[in-house]
Amino acid sequence: MTAISTSGLTKRFRGGQLAVDHIDLVVPDGSVYGFLGPNGSGKTTTIRMLLGLAFPTGGSAALLGVGMPDGATQVLHRVGSLVEGPAFYPFLTGLDNLARYDAADRTADPKTARTRIDTALDRVGLLSAAKKRYRHYSLGMKQRLAIAAGLLRPRELIILDEPTNGLDPQGTREVRALIRQIAADGTTVFVSSHLLAEVEQICTHVGVMRSGRLVFQGSLPELRRTGAARVTVQTADPEAAVKVLTALGLPDPRVSASPDRPAAPGIAEVSAVLGEAAPERICAELVQAGVGVRGFAVTSPSLEDLFVGLTGEGFDVGA
Amino acid sequence: MSVPRFFASELRLVFGRRRNLLLLAVTAVFPLVIGIALRLAAPHPQGGQGGGSGSGAAFFNQLAGNGVFLTFIALSSLLILVLPVVVAVVAGDSVAGEAGYGTLRYLLAVPAGRTRLLAVKLGVIVTFGLCATFIVSAVALVTGAALFPVGPVTLLSGATVSLPDGLLRLLFVTLYVAAAMAALGAIGLAVSTLTEHAIGAIATVMILVVASEVVDNVPQLAAAGPYLPTHWWLSFDSLLRVPVDTSTLLHGLLSFAVYALLFGSFAWARFTSADVTS
pLDDT, one tens digit per residue, over A23-40 is 999 999 999 999 998 888
Closest CA to B107 of B115, B117, B94, B97: B117
Residues in chain B within 8 Å Cβ distance of A105 = 2, 110-112
pLDDT given for residue B3 in this prediction: 63
Residues in chain A within 8 Å Cβ distance of B5 = 103, 110
Please answer whether residues A157 and A79 qualify as being in contact, where contact means their C-beta atoms are separated by less than 8 angstroms: yes
- Phi, psi of B115, deg, nearest 5: -65, -40
The pLDDT of residue A209 is above 80: yes
Nearest-angstrom CA–CA distance, B231 and A304: 68
Name the range with the highest mean pLDDT among A194-203, A221-230, A269-278, B5-14: B5-14
Residues in chain A within 8 Å Cβ distance of B113 = 72-73, 106
Closest-CA distance of chain B to residue A86, Å: 8
Q: Which residue has the higher pLDDT, A98 or B224?
A: A98
Please report the sign of the dihedral spanned by the C-alpha atoms of residue B230, residue B231, residue B232, residue B237: positive
Closest CA to B118 of B99, B137, B135, B102: B99
Closest-CA distance of chain A to residue B278, Å: 9
The pLDDT of residue A318 is above 50: no
What's the pLDDT band for A266 if we cut at 50, 70, 90?
confident
Please answer whether residues B170 and B76 qualify as being in contact, where contact means their C-beta atoms are separated by less than 8 angstroms: no
For A85, name the nearest residue in chain B, comparing CA atoms only: B102
Nearest-angstrom CA–CA distance, B108 and B111: 5
Q: Which residue has the higher pLDDT, B15 or A232?
A: B15
- Cβ-nearest to B108 among A53, A88, A107: A53
Picking from A51, A66, A93, A143 by the largest number of B CB atoms within 10 A of its own CB, the best residue to mutate is A51
Tens of pLDDT, residue by residue, chain B (278 residues): 456 899 999 999 999 999 999 999 999 999 999 999 988 886 554 444 443 344 566 677 777 678 888 999 999 999 999 999 999 999 999 999 999 999 999 999 999 999 999 999 999 999 999 999 999 999 999 999 998 888 888 888 888 888 999 999 999 999 999 999 999 999 999 999 999 999 999 999 999 999 999 999 999 988 888 999 999 999 998 898 888 888 999 999 999 999 999 999 999 999 999 999 88
pLDDT (average), residues A143-148: 92
Q: Is A260 exposed, middle or buried (0-12, 13-18, 19+ CB in 10 A)?
A: exposed
ipTM: 0.86
pLDDT given for residue B65 in this prediction: 74
Whole-number average pLDDT of chain A: 87
CA distances from A36 to A13, A33, A177, A218, A291 (A): 21, 9, 19, 12, 43
The pLDDT of residue A253 is above 80: yes
What's the pLDDT band for A315 if we cut at 50, 70, 90?
very low
pLDDT given for residue A291 in this prediction: 86
Q: Is A16 helix (H, G, I), strand (E, B) or coil?
A: coil
List all residues of chain B from 17 to 36 with a beta carbon under 8 Å from chain A.
17-18
**What is this structure's pTM?**
0.86
The number of residues in chain A equals 319
Q: Which residue has the higher pLDDT, A302 or A242?
A: A242
Nearest-angstrom CA–CA distance, A50 and A60: 9
Residues in chain A within 8 Å Cβ distance of B18 = 91
Query: Which residues, in sequence order, are CB contacts of B42 under 8 Å at separation 6+?
Result: B63, B64
Please answer whether residues B255 and B232 qualify as being in contact, where contact means their C-beta atoms are separated by less than 8 angstroms: yes
Q: Is A237 helix (H, G, I), strand (E, B) or coil?
A: coil
Q: Which residue has the higher pLDDT, A318 or B212?
A: B212
- Phi, psi of A298, deg, nearest 5: -115, 120
pLDDT given for residue B271 in this prediction: 95
Extract the runs of DSSP E, i.e. beta strands, from B121-221. 153-154, 160-161
- Phi, psi of B276, deg, nearest 5: -95, 110
- Cβ-nearest to B6 among A55, A76, A103: A103
The pLDDT of residue A159 is above 70: yes
Q: Is A8 helix (H, G, I), strand (E, B) or coil?
A: strand
All structural domains of chain A, each given as residue ranges with its CATH number in brackets, are: 2-225 (3.40.50.300), 230-299 (3.30.70.260)
Extract the runs of DSSP E, i.e. beta strands, from A55-174. 58-63, 66-68, 79-82, 157-161
- What single-letter DSSP state applies at residue A137? S
List all residues of chain B from 110 to 129 with a beta carbon under 8 Å from chain A.
110-113, 116-117
pLDDT given for residue B54 in this prediction: 47
Give chain A's largest Cα–Cα span.
83
- Phi, psi of B122, deg, nearest 5: -65, -40
- Phi, psi of B156, deg, nearest 5: -65, -30
Q: What's the gap between Cα B187 and its chain centre?
A: 13
CA distances from B245 to A295, B1, B170, B230, B236 (A): 104, 41, 15, 19, 9
Residues in chain A within 8 Å Cβ distance of B107 = 101, 104
